[in-house]
Chain A
């Protein structure tokens, strides 16, 4: 993984999407998890599971997006070369 992109609002997606590299990962957090209801392309996608559950979205997450625990979050941060936080 080259860059980990953190997206915490649906509106931030517009800025993030064009700058994704195929080797990047995107972690949707907070209100960003609402984006996980659709197929997203351009990178590998994760969505923070507690944020999904809190919002009642568990049954609505698209199959190409992987749920991530807080431990997974830490692992993603450790495994990347840099983190970009997107907020609109």
Chain B
């Protein structure tokens, strides 16, 4: 029985292994055919910045890896509009298309989930 799982990503990509670990979890959930959605909020929006190059610090590029999500059947990508406004980010800055949500829409998104995780 597929569960509705929301990954709530609120941390910047390179300061810790958090983003990479989260991506691996999302891919596993996708492989197991769960109903996966992802919400980027706060500093988590930095994971979507275009022109990232993890190779510059000897690692992988988080933005590129996130591009694989649709290949794993994960197509519901949401982002927090108030966070983006606070950080000065728009669609033009991001490497993937997202659906922008205000706080009320995010509350409804959370309310539809069986599991919410980081």
Contact = CB atoms under 8 A, between A and B. Distances in A.
Is there a contact between chains A and B in the complex with CB atoms less than 8 Å apart?
A: yes
Interface of A: 2-3, 14-15, 18-21, 82-88
Contacts, number: 34
Given A14-B42, A82-B116, A19 B10 contact: no
Nearest to A2: B111
B116 A21 contact: no
Given A15-B41, A19-B103, A84 B116 contact: yes
A82 B107 contact: no
Contact of B8 (A2, A84, A88): A84
A19 to B, nearest CB: 5
Given A84-B116, A85-B118, A87-B118, A18 B103 contact: yes
A83 B48 CA distance: 25
State the main secondary structure of chain B at its contact with A: mixed
A86 B44 CA distance: 13
Given A3-B111, A21-B110, A82-B116, 13 more contacts: A2-B111, A18-B103, A19-B103, A19-B107, A19-B110, A20-B107, A21-B107, A82-B114, A82-B115, A83-B116, A84-B116, A86-B10, A88-B11
The residue in A2, A3, A21, A84 that gathers the most chain B C-beta atoms within 10 A of its C-beta is: A84
A85 B8 CA distance: 9
A62 B118 CA distance: 29
Contacts of B82: 18
A20 B110 CA distance: 10
Contacts of B110: 3, 19, 21, 82, 84
B106 interface: yes
